[in-house]
């Protein structure tokens, strides 16, 4: 049975928290990039969808993999599945809190019309794409209405919505922590002493 080292457990939690701060800051920057790309740089509907997907999904996963490997190195190179899951969950959750708080400040202070600008950009890109495809006007109107409705829901933020989002995020962070924990766990060998350093067997005297 593996003994629990309080110092080691504390190191896992503290390292997870500090790594999470950096992970959250990077996620925040990527989120802000997504906004400005969608509203000022995207030249087509598909670029408006593809680039933010890469920046907000693919890149964070790659960064999370790198941070998880670096995390394991920082705590000595070995941790059990439970320890890996705990540390990575802390990293993910702290990262989420930093990103959430940063996005909240950004949308309230720097870009108070953030949702409206994204709605305008998405409606314009959708309309242009469907017009180029010679879609009937009624289909274009339906697509625009659907897009506008999805953004209307984002404009109203209540305490209930925020708590629901937080609960969902906790679950998502935990699920990903389980997956990453299973991938990056590395149990410490039962015997740390190399075989060639062990005392040679004693040959009994004849």
pLDDT digits (tens, 9 = 90+) for 130-178: 888 888 898 988 988 888 888 887 777 778 888 888 899 999 999 999 9
In a domain, 171, yes or no: yes
Residue-averaged pLDDT of the chain: 87
4 pLDDT more than 80? no
Residue 86 has a pLDDT of 95
In a domain, 204, yes or no: no
91 pLDDT more than 90? yes
What is the secondary structure of 68-109 as a DSSP string?
A: HHHHHHHTTS-B-HHHHHHHHHHHHHHHHHHHHHHHHHIIII
Provide the domain limits for residue 74: 8-182
In a domain, 202, yes or no: no
In a domain, 110, yes or no: yes
199 pLDDT more than 60? no
Give alpha helix (H) positions in 5-58. Answer: 6-36, 45-53
In a domain, 201, yes or no: no
Count of CA atoms in the C-beta half-sphere (13 A) of 161: 6
The Cα-based distances of 202 to 3, 53, 108, 199, 205 in angstroms read: 32, 65, 76, 9, 9
Residue 3 has a pLDDT of 62
In a domain, 17, yes or no: yes
In a domain, 187, yes or no: no
Confidence band of 94 (pLDDT split at 50, 70, 90): very high
Q: How many domains does one find in the chain?
A: 1
Q: Which residues pair with 186 in a beta bridge?
A: 79
Integer Cα distance of 8 and 75 in angstroms: 8
pLDDT digits (tens, 9 = 90+) for 108-141: 899 888 888 988 888 888 898 888 888 889 898 8
The Cα-based distances of 98 to 4, 23, 113, 124, 134 in angstroms read: 30, 9, 21, 32, 44
Q: What is the pTM of this model?
A: 0.81
Hey, is 186 helix, strand or coil?
strand
In a domain, 62, yes or no: yes
């Amino acid at each position: 049975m593996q003994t629990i080292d309080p110092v080691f457990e504390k190191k896992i939690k503290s390292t997870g928290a500090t790594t999470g701060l950096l992970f959250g800051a990077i996620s925040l920057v990527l989120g802000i990039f997504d906004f400005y790309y969608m509203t000022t740089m995207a030249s087509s509907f598909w670029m408006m969808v593809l680039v933010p997907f890469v920046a907000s999904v693919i890149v964070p996963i790659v960064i999370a993999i790198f941070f998880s490997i670096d995390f394991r190195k920082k705590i000595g190179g070995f941790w059990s599945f439970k320890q890996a899951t705990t540390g990575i969950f802390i990293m993910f959750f702290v990262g989420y809190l930093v990103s959430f708080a940063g996005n909240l400040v950004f949308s309230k202070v720097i870009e108070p019309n953030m949702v409206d600008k994204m709605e305008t950009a998405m409606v314009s890109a959708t309309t242009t794409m469907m017009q180029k495809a010679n879609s009937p006007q009624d289909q274009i109107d339906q697509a625009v209405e659907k897009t506008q409705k999805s953004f209307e829901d984002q404009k109203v933020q209540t305490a209930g919505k925020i708590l629901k989002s937080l609960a969902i995020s906790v679950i998502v962070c935990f699920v990903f922590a389980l997956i990453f924990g299973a991938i990056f766990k590395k149990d410490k060998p039962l015997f740390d002493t190399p075989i060639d350093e062990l005392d040679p067997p004693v040959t009994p005297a004849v």
